[in-house]
Amino acid sequence: MSELPLSPSAVPSTDPGFELRSEITVELVDHSASDIGVVRAARVSTAGERAHREERGEGYMNGLIKYLMRSRHGSPFEHNYLTFLINAPIFTVRHLMRHRTWSFNEESARYREIKPVFYVPDGDRLLRQEGKPGDYQYVPGGDGDHAMLTTSASRVYTAAYEEYTALLQAGVARELARMVLPVSTYSAVYATCNARALMHFLGLRTNRDDAAYVSHPQREIEIVAEQMEHAFAALMPLTHGAFNEFGRVSP
């Protein structure tokens, strides 16, 4: 976790569990994903049930996968799954849930008391935005911007969590008490997708100059995407290579 400088007035000293965190984590917890799986799914159209038992060399697999990617034959990339456990602020989880072909299960504030863990960007985060909607860029913050943001956020988080705790202690239901918590509260979510859906997500949620359609995602969801892409590249290197070669566009 990054060290976050706080002014004395911002330090929440009343709750030892109170935490300001800048780290966003993604863990691959389960999967059934491989390049040979893509090849077998494609080959069933011509080889029938024999395709399931075929073993193919890397050269053949690479050629077929590139053909599928180039020709936008996408369904062979759907017969697999990757399940990730993400720990991120709620506003980042909401970005993730915009991808509606995925499956999600999120930590519920209806059923458990939420811990006081809140997001503050680290010192490397670009803090200012220049330009108009749809045509802007992020630039570094001015002197004191990060300290001001951290101090302001900590003050609000402290007050919000004190009110949340007071409501719970007064007997208000958790599902109502949670309404006072900010969207920067950390949440845990299981997210499952197939490779085709993941490539669509990566095309939108990463900023890459080599992409056919350059995207400008918010940095926090890009951190999630980068960690997912690392796992994807390790499991399906030929598919990932073809994805990059043909402009990072999902077939």
Show which residues are catalytic. 205
Place of tokens 């990617």: 69
Please, which residues bridge with residue 84 across strands?
Answer: 28, 191
Tell me the CA end-to-end span of the chain in Å, nearest whole number. Answer: 37
59 Cβ contact partners less than 8 Å away, ≥ 6 residues apart: none
The answer to whether 174 and 113 are in contact (CB under 8 A) is yes
Beta strands in 33-119 (DSSP E): 81-89, 103-106, 117-119
d(CA 210, CA 216): 13
Give the tokens for residue 244: 């990059």
Give the tokens for residue 154: 């900590």
Type of residue numbered 153: A
